[in-house]
A and B are shown apart, each in its own frame.
Chain A
Amino acid sequence: MERVPILKVGDVLLISIQTDLEDRTALALQEDLAEQIVRTGARGVVIDITAVEIVDSFIGRMFATIAAMSRLLDARTVVVGMRPAVAITLVELGLSLGGVHTALNLEKGMRLLAAPDPGGPPGTMSGR
């Protein structure tokens, strides 16, 4: 089984998804990430999905799970780089990704994490 690498950049953990994830790979990623947040004391997690061509309800749920889990471990999560076709499809599928912060690209995502925590999970999936 493939494993998704987790990179440490300052106090942020960066996950760049480059392949179409198998379910097992996605589950392993959640576990690896939880472990790394605790081990490194990271305050932020960025999931870069620039290369991701589809997000179904399984992967969408993984984003929500990661965001909730990071929050419990005192880190914030931002999903960056969603393709327009993926966003359109997610809305039609009915997956709102409430509770998940998004940003248009990596730079904006990093800036969002550097800003003071506005507190509380977001109510919408709109980026900044």
Chain B
Amino acid sequence: MSDVHEVRVGSSDDIVGIRKMVRTIAGDIRMSLVDQTKLVTAASELARNIVVHGGGGTVRIERLTGPTGRTGVRMIFSDEGPGISDVDLALTDGWSSGQGLGLGLPGSRRLVDEFELDTAVGRGTRITVTKWTR
């Protein structure tokens, strides 16, 4: 099995498959059940954001092995949608530009170990998250 998977996120129907893939990879590296659940939940939120706000995109899922042998999962969610004009606001609990609860972005950030958000208005959004096996 290859260590990098790239999946298209076109509609909400793709989200179940992404959750399943992330679960399998997290299980393969023996991440704890709680950490697996957190990672899969973050994946679900960020993939849904691509569908709802980003107009579709991709997710790249990578299995990582650090220099000291520790393992982890990195996920990169990219879209070429409208981008986010105020990142601080978007990362605020409860803020949504639509009908959402505004928990997806700030919640995912809490569920992972590393969270990086790159965005440009009119160009798109790229969110990179990493979770390490403890």
Which residue of chain B has its CB nearest to the CB of A93?
Answer: B107
Chain B positions near chain A (C-beta within 8 angstroms): 12-13, 15-16, 19-20, 23, 33-34, 36-38, 40-41, 44-45, 48, 93, 100-101, 103-104, 106-108, 110-111
- The contact of B111 among A20, A22, A92, by CB within 8 Å, is A92
Distance between A24 CB and nearest chain B CB, rounded to angstroms:
7
Total A-B Cβ pairs within 8 A: 69
Known: A54-B19, A56-B48. A93 touches B111 (CB 8 A): yes
Question: Which residues from A are CB-within-8-Å of B44?
Answer: 54, 56, 58
Contact indicator A92/B12 (Cβ below 8 Å): no
Question: Which residues from B are CB-within-8-Å of A61?
Answer: 101
Question: Which residues from B are CB-within-8-Å of A22?
Answer: 12-13, 15-16
List 7 additional contacts besides A57-B100, A93-B107; criterion CB under 8 Å.
A22-B12, A23-B13, A53-B23, A86-B37, A89-B34, A89-B38, A92-B107
Which residue of chain A has its CB nearest to the CB of B35?
Answer: A85
Distance between B73 CB and nearest chain A CB, rounded to angstroms:
15
Chain A positions near chain B (C-beta within 8 angstroms): 20-24, 53-58, 61, 83-86, 88-89, 92-95
Secondary structure of the B contact surface, majority rule: helix
Contact indicator A88/B15 (Cβ below 8 Å): no
Contact indicator A23/B15 (Cβ below 8 Å): yes
Question: Which residues from B are CB-within-8-Å of A84?
Answer: 34
A88 CA / B36 CA spacing, docked (Å)? 12
Question: Which residues from A are CB-within-8-Å of B33?
Answer: 85
Question: Which residues from B are CB-within-8-Å of A56?
Answer: 41, 44-45, 48
Going nearest first, the 3 A-B pairs with the smallest beta carbon separation are: A93-B107, A85-B37, A23-B12
Listed by A's residue number, 8 A-B pairs whose Cβ atoms lie within 8 Å are A54-B19, A56-B48, A57-B45, A57-B100, A58-B44, A88-B34, A93-B107, A93-B111
Which residue of chain A has its CB nearest to the CB of B12?
Answer: A23
Which of B19, B34, B111 has the largest number of chain A CB atoms within 10 A? B34
A57 CA / B106 CA spacing, docked (Å)? 12
Question: Which residues from A are CB-within-8-Å of B104?
Answer: 57
Question: Which residues from A are CB-within-8-Å of B45?
Answer: 56-57, 93
Which residue of chain A has its CB nearest to the CB of B11?
Answer: A23
Contact indicator A93/B103 (Cβ below 8 Å): yes
A55 CA / B44 CA spacing, docked (Å)? 9
Question: Which residues from B are CB-within-8-Å of A94?
Answer: 93, 103, 106-107, 110
A95 CA / B100 CA spacing, docked (Å)? 12
